[in-house]
A and B are shown apart, each in its own frame.
Chain A
Amino acid sequence: MRPAGRGETDSLYFDYPCFDAPEKARGATLSEPTPVAIVGAGPVGMTAALALAREGIRSVLFDNKSTFNDGSRAICVARESFYILERLGAVAPFVEKALGWTTGRSFYRGQQILEFNMPDGPSEKFRPMYNIQQQYIELYLWQAVSDSDLIETRWQSEVIGVRNTSDGAILTIRDTNGTYTIAADWLLAADGARSPVRGMLGRRLAGENHEGRYVIADVQMNHDYPTIRRALFDPACRPGGTVLIHRQPDNIWRIDYQLTENEDADEATREDVVRRNVEAVLSEIGHDGPWELEWWSIYSANTLALDDYRDGRVFFIGDSAHIVPIFGVRGLNNGLADAQNIAWKLGWVMRGKAGTDLLDSYSPERRGATLDVFENATKSARFMTPPSHGWRVMRDAALSLALDHDFAGKLANPRQMTPYTYGESPVVCPDDPAFENGPEPGKVIPEARLQQGYLSDHLGPGFNVICFGADLAQELEDRLAAEDDIRVLSLPARSEAAHVFGAARTAAYLVRPDRHVAARWHQARATSVITAYRKATCNNGAEA
């Protein structure tokens, strides 16, 4: 919502573009079949299209709007997402614009009870978290999408029908010129939390709605505070409630405050009420200068997901598959990881580099990641908004104790950065117990300094085998087939990478295109590496 007199996309700092519907003259070609159709040109749909293009796969993106999503919405982009964007060749404008951060501070009744730092240091290429408004995220993705020859975007084109067939999906689309159908080999449903595709296929989200409603309001002001997330528990401006404050680019600040049980949602989102509540928060944090109200919205904390992210030829990605509470800052980050996961797999299957069974690993891997988020988010939600008397008593006890005892402040840690492991995946090998540290199979590989840059700069676009001795590397080079899309990286046995991988001269890691570890060996042999590569790409029977 925006202040009276301003339209939905009438922003203080951002010019929303307006995209036309496809031309009528092209009507005849609109029905031409496409390898992949993507419903929804939000951040997740655009990321999927870019990730498919990277595998050489053409797609058509449909969106019923004529511009980007309104409002800043998801503002916290995690380190892992920057790697996804980097892989798509789209990260540069994000690095330029976004505000990186590592630190959060929690306050109880005005007194600081916790300062947490997310892991960071000179061995890291990206910061643990970045703040940037969602419309910039969409703009920068869009710039990459519109530069790609492999992606066709159709704005103002609403998908009104979807049907699975034995070898594809049929979509019905309505645009300003009429209605047509199009056949696709595969369909990605990136159509958001209300997902019409989900409804048309008769699927429902399952899970819980949590207590607590929050108003999120963006204000523009000159406010002198570093990019540090602040959480205020039981502040004077909102007794018993919780307030979150985030800095964004362009002098925009996100003020996020909890409503009490007896505050009515309609009343609480009225402009004058929002202004009054924001003013109270601002004076509590010592801002008495001018400020302008940019945008506001209301949300409640849900943990909802589909039981299966796949339905025949249709894959659900992003909010259409799961809705998570936003204090975990995982909604968008998880969606980007969904897009990357399905896109490389689909690309590899469509190019004949992987067996079709690989696609069955999408749902267990990504749904598993969502359930992980649920668990952490449920813990955070219980702290931010205690659901019952017992939780409230203990929360207040922890906060009150934290004023004098640091250990209790840790209970207020928002757990924003728990990385996920594809532990239950059918295409990830069991761990080699000989390792004492380093990332186990299913985890994302850590970063390390290498020569003038970073380890990630040296990774090939497909699979990578990271070896720490030249003999194994040479043997692998000799035995891999020409069509294997795998790069052999031979790193020094005495290097920062060897240290963080817990690797001796004989060790090797097999790493997937999405930087998750597929398998690792303390004493690697070339045959085991090649067998694991076949397993990870579901090419078991393909060749000896």
Chain B
Amino acid sequence: MTPTELESVYEALATTIDQVGESKTELFLAKLTLLLAERVGDTPTVLRSIRDSARSL
């Protein structure tokens, strides 16, 4: 993933979080994670990413 590609994902997430609104943010992110997990299809990577994201909150 190039820095530009990553940037576009970052932007899409930011604008979609604003669109769905604060009350639905959590649901939206949870759905997104499940859907990405299914599309990635690699359980160890997904589980490691869950652990990594829970760090330094």
Chain A residues engaging chain B, CB cutoff 8 angstroms = 393-394, 396-398, 400-401, 405, 407-408
Instruction: Return chain A residues, CB-CB under 8 Å to B27.
Output: 393, 396-397, 400
Closest 7 pairs (CB-CB, A-B): A397-B30, A397-B31, A401-B31, A393-B30, A407-B38, A393-B26, A401-B34
Interface centre among A396, A397, A400, A405 (most CB of B within 10 A): A397
| A398 to B33 Cα, complex, angstroms | 10
Instruction: Return chain A residues, CB-CB under 8 Å to B26.
Output: 393
| Chain B, residue nearest A407 (CB) | B38
Return B45 CB to nearest CB of chain A, in Å. 18
| Chain B, residue nearest A396 (CB) | B27
Chain B residues engaging chain A, CB cutoff 8 angstroms = 26-27, 30-31, 33-35, 38
Return B15 CB to nearest CB of chain A, in Å. 20
Instruction: Return chain B residues, CB-CB under 8 Å to A407.
Output: 38
Q: Are B34 and A408 within 8 A (Cβ)?
A: yes
Instruction: Return chain B residues, CB-CB under 8 Å to A405.
Output: 35, 38
Return B46 CB to nearest CB of chain A, in Å. 13
Main secondary structure, interface of A, reads helix
Instruction: Return chain B residues, CB-CB under 8 Å to A408.
Output: 34-35, 38
| A400 to B30 Cα, complex, angstroms | 10
| Chain B, residue nearest A390 (CB) | B30
Q: What are 13 residue pairs bridging A and B, where the CB atoms are less than 8 Å apart in the complex?
A: A393-B26, A393-B27, A394-B30, A396-B27, A396-B30, A397-B27, A397-B33, A397-B34, A401-B34, A401-B35, A408-B34, A408-B35, A408-B38
| Chain A, residue nearest B26 (CB) | A393
Cross-chain pair count, CB within 8 angstroms: 24
| Chain B, residue nearest A408 (CB) | B34
Instruction: Return chain B residues, CB-CB under 8 Å to A397.
Output: 27, 30-31, 33-34
Instruction: Return chain A residues, CB-CB under 8 Å to B31.
Output: 397, 400-401
| A401 to B37 Cα, complex, angstroms | 13
| Chain B, residue nearest A394 (CB) | B30
| A66 to B31 Cα, complex, angstroms | 55
Instruction: Return chain A residues, CB-CB under 8 Å to B33.
Output: 397
| A270 to B31 Cα, complex, angstroms | 39
| A408 to B27 Cα, complex, angstroms | 14
| Chain A, residue nearest B32 (CB) | A397
| Chain B, residue nearest A411 (CB) | B34
| Chain A, residue nearest B24 (CB) | A400
Instruction: Return chain A residues, CB-CB under 8 Å to B30.
Output: 393-394, 396-397
Instruction: Return chain B residues, CB-CB under 8 Å to A398.
Output: 34
| A397 to B35 Cα, complex, angstroms | 10
| A394 to B31 Cα, complex, angstroms | 8
| A88 to B34 Cα, complex, angstroms | 48
4 additional A-B residue pairs with CB within 8 Å, beyond A401-B31, A408-B34: A393-B27, A393-B30, A396-B30, A407-B38
| Chain A, residue nearest B28 (CB) | A397
Return A498 CB to nearest CB of chain B, in Å. 36
Instruction: Return chain B residues, CB-CB under 8 Å to A393.
Output: 26-27, 30
Instruction: Return chain B residues, CB-CB under 8 Å to A396.
Output: 27, 30
| A194 to B6 Cα, complex, angstroms | 61
| Chain A, residue nearest B30 (CB) | A397
Return B13 CB to nearest CB of chain A, in Å. 16
Return B5 CB to nearest CB of chain A, in Å. 24
| A74 to B26 Cα, complex, angstroms | 38
| Chain B, residue nearest A395 (CB) | B30
Instruction: Return chain B residues, CB-CB under 8 Å to A401.
Output: 31, 34-35
| A104 to B27 Cα, complex, angstroms | 26
Interface centre among A396, A398, A401, A408 (most CB of B within 10 A): A401
| A408 to B26 Cα, complex, angstroms | 17
Return A260 CB to nearest CB of chain B, in Å. 19
| A408 to B31 Cα, complex, angstroms | 10
Return A172 CB to nearest CB of chain B, in Å. 58
| A199 to B38 Cα, complex, angstroms | 50
| A432 to B9 Cα, complex, angstroms | 52
| A407 to B37 Cα, complex, angstroms | 11
Return B47 CB to nearest CB of chain A, in Å. 14
Return B16 CB to nearest CB of chain A, in Å. 15
Instruction: Return chain A residues, CB-CB under 8 Å to B34.
Output: 394, 397-398, 401, 408
Instruction: Return chain A residues, CB-CB under 8 Å to B35.
Output: 401, 405, 408
| A344 to B31 Cα, complex, angstroms | 51
| A340 to B31 Cα, complex, angstroms | 46
| A401 to B31 Cα, complex, angstroms | 6
Instruction: Return chain B residues, CB-CB under 8 Å to A394.
Output: 30, 34
| A291 to B38 Cα, complex, angstroms | 44
| A177 to B30 Cα, complex, angstroms | 66
| A424 to B1 Cα, complex, angstroms | 49
| Chain B, residue nearest A389 (CB) | B26
| A405 to B30 Cα, complex, angstroms | 14
| A407 to B31 Cα, complex, angstroms | 12
